Structure 1
Amino acid sequence: MFLLAFLCFALDFTAVASTDSAGLSPECRIDTLLYNGEHAINMVFAAEGYRSGELEGFRKLGRGLAEYFLSAPPFSDYTEDFNIFLANTVSDESGISSPEEERNTFFKVRAGNHGIGRLLVPEDIGKCEKALDGLLPGWDFICICVNSKEYGGGGGDLTVVTGHALAGEVLLHELGHSIGGLADEYWSAAEFIGEFPNMTLSPDNAPWSGIPGTGTYPLLRPDGSTAAYIPCRTTENSAYCKMGMLGKDFCPACSKAISAAIEEILVNRRRNVPDVL
């Protein structure tokens, strides 16, 4: 089984980062779940809102998310091209901050960004990246795992998920943003409308033109007017797309964008890292 082969790679080492202006804890144990070499892409799952005695819960969540990630297309095509690590970052308090309550946590993730309760974003992404630079130099993608069972997440420069029952699906959707540079294929706010691999304002010049299995469909505002155009129409009975509804597959346009982004990183990595003799 894939699970057994996957977990056989588990080994531990300790990383120490210097304390920075964010006041983040300087010590963190790094668990290596999967290692495919220097050419591989470094994915880090990091704990947020977990006190030291709660980290086993984070490790269980992180292992499950990593397995879910590697088993889902198109990421499953690249199981030998990722290194996967768990960063056991310790917070002073459990949970995360919200508009109603402040929590002292490692990455300072907050719920309720842009007026959207489920949208989880760190207060200062730059400080988060600096902290990970000290803990695990050379990381490519970070997924912050929040100590909460509430539904929510975020994607972009960093990916954020919770321990909700749909966390695996949320992870894949958010990695569509973080890795593939994809847009949501549903209306959320005007600021998220624009030109993306899976969204366009110019239907005659759609970036997915010519990709089999795609079309050009309007993305509607709440008032029924057209905000943009997307490559598929997501319904309860449709096969696509995860960027429009959890539980669906990525549509061909989104899959191609994700694969192209991964391939670009791998080409650059192989160009810059000498082969091991």
Structure 2
Amino acid sequence: MNKLLIFTIYLLSTVFFSAQKISYDDFFEKESLRIDFLLYGMYDHQNAVIHQLKKEPYFGGGTSGQLIFPAYGTYHFLAKDKASEQLIFSKGFSPIFQEWQATDEAKHITKSFENSIQMPFPKREIIIEIQKRNNQGRFETILQHVVNPSDMSIVKEQPKKYPVHPILNNENPKNKVDIAIIAEGYTLEEMPKFMEDAQRLINYFFTIPPFTKYKNDFNIYAIQSPSEESGTDIPGENSYKNTLLDSKFYTFGEPRYLTTFSNFKIADVAANVPYDQVYILVNTERYGGGGFYNVMNIVSSRNALSDKVFVHEFGHGMVGLADEYYDASMGGSDYYHLAVEPWEPNITSLVNFEQKWKKKIKKNIPIPTPRIDQYKNEVGVFEGGGYTAKGIYSPVQDCRMKSNVPDGFCPVCTDAIDKTIEFYKN
């Protein structure tokens, strides 16, 4: 048994047993603690520093079973009770900073990126840690900080109020998937347009399996957060707009890559509601979007393919699914280390395939599986995925995580979505 497998078993067992022992009411209040921090560094190193702590009125969770998240993500946030050192909260996430580290710019300059994590507000002192997954798949601590809930430096101001309109209201946020949909690049006069866009995208979302069976397990709030100007930045065309969340295309030089780096502003707006996920609708007809696990989802709202991209990006942001597309003209990449099993549930390097979807493959399907018509509708192990043509494998030849052509998700991605929603329902 290799060291990575031993570590994985240990981590998963820790997650399971910790979830069984923690009582929410023993450690937490009903409000939330927001940790604003900066990740900074260059291509080969990273550090973290606390920017501020805030007490906010809502927390999207609230049950004992939602305190220890699955061990996904390239980063890991955790909180321990200081007195007993018991793990009482943990959550993985994948920030924009990690993608910047893969750019050429990161080889030459140091940059910092905003990040926010929300956890239930503690009743007594805690130790928080931020960890980075290293090249061997193990987490290493890059920040440790003691939080005293009575510390007067914790900001307790009320968030700026924006009109909130429930698109889907199934009440108790404790055991629902709570989504804050935020307007970006819509002026005050364009708020009816925002509501129309949000409703249209949500209507489509619940036509895609497996979300079709979970409509009663979601709360969805539309937050009418106006911008000074309509639209978004398109730097490649020298077009800039004054918008609330500073969204832009051409992220890292990619024309269709739509993001924002203003995570603190996002968290300020989202604080109007209890939320598990944030989805930003950008008022533009240009194609684009982005999704970052347990950080944010963002999409252009008025393109002909916006509905399909909306669902795809949610696969990243809520579930931690990897992109399954790749450039066939390229070989390997620096994004995945082929000697380590990727953490994402829908790709594999075959290093530890037993923990992925091996049980779903029929006995007559070869591993790896050729990308030929004979296996077009089969679950297999198809080379190519995660932006990598060689050495990374996907479950099917095409899926919503690869292109906009399929009607929905493959069986492997569907299972991952099911497990994530059931976690929030716990």
Superposition TM-score, scaled by structure 1 size: 0.78
Q: Using the alignment, how far apart are the partners of 2:298 and 2:264 within structure 1? A: 15
Match runs of 1:77-226 below 5 Å:
77-99=213-235, 100-133=238-271, 135-136=272-273, 138-156=274-292, 157-162=295-300, 163-187=302-326, 190=333, 193=336, 195=342, 196-202=344-350, 205=353, 207-211=356-360, 213-219=378-384, 226=390
Q: Using the alignment, how far apart are the partners of 2:416 and 2:226 within structure 1? A: 35
Q: Using the alignment, how far apart are the partners of 1:191 and 1:140 within structure 2? A: 31
DSSP 3-state at the match of 1:256: helix
> Could you tell me how far 1:192 is from its partner in structure 2?
5.1
Q: Using the alignment, how far apart are the partners of 2:197 and 2:177 within structure 1? A: 21
Q: Using the alignment, how far apart are the partners of 2:386 and 2:319 within structure 1? A: 24
Residue number among 51, 58, 70 corresponding to 2:187 in the alignment = 51
DSSP 3-state at the match of 1:64: helix
Q: Using the alignment, how far apart are the partners of 2:322 and 2:213 within structure 1? A: 22
> Could you tell me how far 1:221 is from its partner in structure 2?
9.5
Match runs of 1:250-265 below 5 Å:
250-265=409-424
Percentage of identical aligned residues:
30
Aligned 8 A contact 1:41 1:83 in 2: yes
Q: Using the alignment, how far apart are the partners of 2:220 and 2:254 within structure 1? A: 30
**Partner residue, 1:230:** 394
Aligned 8 A contact 2:324 2:385 in 1: no
**Partner residue, 2:196:** 60
Instruction: Establish whether residue 245 from structure 1 lines up as the match of residue 393 from structure 2.
Output: no
**Partner residue, 1:36:** 170
Q: Using the alignment, how far apart are the partners of 1:111 and 1:31 within structure 2? A: 28
> Could you tell me how far 1:205 is from its partner in structure 2?
1.2
Amino acid at match of 1:178: G
Aligned 8 A contact 2:176 2:425 in 1: yes
Q: Using the alignment, how far apart are the partners of 2:216 and 2:389 within structure 1? A: 45
Q: Which range moved further: 94-103 or 145-154? A: 94-103
Superposition TM-score, scaled by structure 2 size: 0.52
Q: Which range moved further: 251-260 or 34-43? A: 34-43
Question: Gapped runs of 5+ residues in structure 2?
Answer: 1-56, 58-158, 362-377
Instruction: Establish whether residue 75 from structure 1 lines up as the match of residue 211 from structure 2.
Output: yes
Q: Deviations over 1:54-101 (max 9, x none)?
A: 111111100001111122111111111001111111001111123223
**Partner residue, 1:14:** none
Aligned 8 A contact 2:285 2:303 in 1: yes
Distance 1:192 1:80, change over 3 A: farther
Aligned 8 A contact 1:69 1:168 in 2: yes
> Could you tell me how far 1:108 is from its partner in structure 2?
1.2
Question: Gapped runs of 5+ residues in structure 1?
Answer: 1-16, 18-24, 235-240, 268-277
Aligned 8 A contact 2:324 2:386 in 1: no
Aligned 8 A contact 1:183 1:192 in 2: no
DSSP 3-state at the match of 2:345: coil
> Could you tell me how far 1:130 is from its partner in structure 2?
3.3
**Partner residue, 2:65:** none
Q: Considering only aligned residues, what root-mean-square deviation do their CA atoms show, in Å?
A: 2.5
Q: Deviations over 1:35-70 (max 9, x none)?
A: 112132211221100111111111110000111112
> Could you tell me how far 1:190 is from its partner in structure 2?
4.1
Amino acid at match of 1:229: Y
**Partner residue, 1:271:** none
> Could you tell me how far 1:127 is from its partner in structure 2?
3.2
Structure 1 or 2: more strand by fraction: 2
